[in-house]
């Protein structure tokens, strides 16, 4: 009985912790100032949040049904394989697309970018305006090339 209670407490804790991590991950994605910073929330918080939830589920089913439920490990495995790649590729894409950094960002990137992108840009026709975004909101500045 005590063990059940303990398990229940752990499950509850893990659930709440998972929720909080997932929540903060998404919150970070919402409130950080530039894309690269926003990237940090989901790549970590969300992954761990899901991890906690999965462990909770594992524990819950193992305890309630009296047999081992470890399938959730698989989800964790897949998530740990795929989530960082997603983060990496998104960051790479952001870099490639000359996304704006928040002022005060340290370090230098142009060299990296040039390797990827080359020097010249291609002439393109005027871009369609996005319906929800006013002109003013459009990128306020880019890193000096």
Partner 1 sequence: MKAMGRLLPTPTLSLVLLITWLLLVRSIAPGQLILGAVLAVVIPLLTRGFWEPLPQVRHPIKLARFVLVVLYDIVKANVQVSLLILSPKREPHPGFVEYPLSVKDPLTITLLANTITMTPGTVSTNVRLDRSSLLIHVLDMHDEQALVREIQERYERPLKEIFEC
Partner 2 sequence: MALLWIPLLTLLGALVPVATSRHGRRLCTLATLVAPLLALGLVLIHAPAVLAGEVVSVSLTWMPLLGLDLALRIDGLTLLFALLILGIGSLILYYAGHYLSADEDDGRFLAYMMLFMTAMVGIAMADNLILLWLFWELTSVSSFLLIGFWGHRSDARRGARMALAVTGAGGLALLAGLLLIGNVVGSFAMADVLAAGDVIRASAHYPLILVLVLLGAFTKSAQFPFHFWLPHAMAAPTPVSAFLHSATMVKAGVFLMARLTPALGDSQLWAVALSLVGLTTMLYAAWFALLQRDLKGILAFSTVSHLGLITLLLGLGSPLAIVAAVFHILNHATFKAALFMSVGIIDHETGTRDIDRLGALWSMMPLTGTMVILAGAAMAGFPPFNGFLSKEMLFEQSLLNDVLGALSGLIPLLVMVAATLSVAYSLRLIWSLFFAAPKLTREQKAEPPMHVHDPARGMLAPGLFLAAMSLAVGLFPMTLAAPLVNAASLAVQGDTTPLISLALWHGLNLPLAMSLMAVIGGILLVRHHRRLANIAALFPARDASLTFEAAVLKVIKATLWLTQRLENGSLQRYQALLVLCALVMVGVGLANLESLTGPLGMQPLDGMLVLGAALIIFGAVGSALSHRWRLVSLLMLSVVGLTVSLTFVRFSAPDLALTQLSVEVVSMILFILALFFLPQRPPLLVSQRRILRDLLLAASLGLVVAMLNYALLTRETISIADYFLREAVPGGGGTNVVNVILVDFRGYDTLGEITVLTLAGLATFKLLNRMKLFKPSGNLEGIRWSRHRYPLILAVIAQILLPLALLVSVYIFLRGHNQPGGGFIAGLITAVALILQYMARGHDWTRERLPISYPAVAVSGLVVAVATGLASWLFGYPFLTSTFGHFHIPLIGEIELASAMLFDVGVYLAVVGATLMILINLGRVTTIHRPTLEER
Partner 3 sequence: MLEIALMISLSLIVMAMAMNVFRLAKGPDVPDRLLALDTLYVNSIALIVLLGLWLNTKTYFEAAILIAMLGFVGTMAICRYLLRGDIIE
Return the residue of 5, 81, 135, 136 that touches partner 2, per CB under 8 A.
81
Is residue 123 involved in binding partner 3 (CB under 8 A)? Answer: no
Report the b/e string of 102-141 with b at 16+ CB within 10 A: eeeeeeeeeeebeeeeeeeeeeeeeeeeeeeeeeeeeeee
CA separation, residue 28 to residues 36, 38, 83, 126 (Å): 11, 6, 16, 33
Residue window 93-112: x/- pattern of binding to partner 1, with contact defined by CB under 8 A: -xx-----xx-xxxxxx--x
Is residue 19 involved in binding partner 1 (CB under 8 A)? Answer: no
Is residue 63 involved in binding partner 1 (CB under 8 A)? Answer: no
Q: Is 133 left (phi over 0), alpha (psi -120 to 50) or beta?
A: beta
* List of residues contacting partner 1 (CB under 8 A): 20-21, 24, 27-28, 31-32, 34, 36-37, 39-41, 43-45, 47-48, 67-71, 73-74, 77, 80, 83-85, 87-88, 91-92, 94-95, 101-102, 104-109, 112, 115-116
């Amino acid at each position: 009985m005590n063990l059940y209670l303990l398990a229940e407490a752990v499950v509850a804790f893990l659930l709440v912790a998972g929720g909080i991590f997932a929540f903060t991950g998404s919150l970070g994605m919402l409130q950080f100032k530039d894309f690269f910073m926003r990237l940090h929330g989901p790549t970590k918080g969300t992954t761990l949040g899901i991890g906690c939830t999965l462990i909770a589920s594992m524990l819950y089913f193992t305890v309630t049904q009296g047999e081992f439920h470890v399938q959730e490990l698989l989800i964790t495995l897949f998530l740990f394989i795929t989530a960082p790649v997603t983060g990496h590729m998104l960051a790479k894409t952001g870099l490639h697309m000359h996304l704006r950094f928040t002022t005060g960002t340290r370090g230098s990137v142009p060299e990296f970018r040039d390797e990827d992108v080359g020097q010249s840009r291609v002439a393109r026709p005027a871009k369609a305006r996005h319906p929800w975004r006013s002109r003013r909101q459009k990128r306020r500045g880019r890193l000096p090339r």
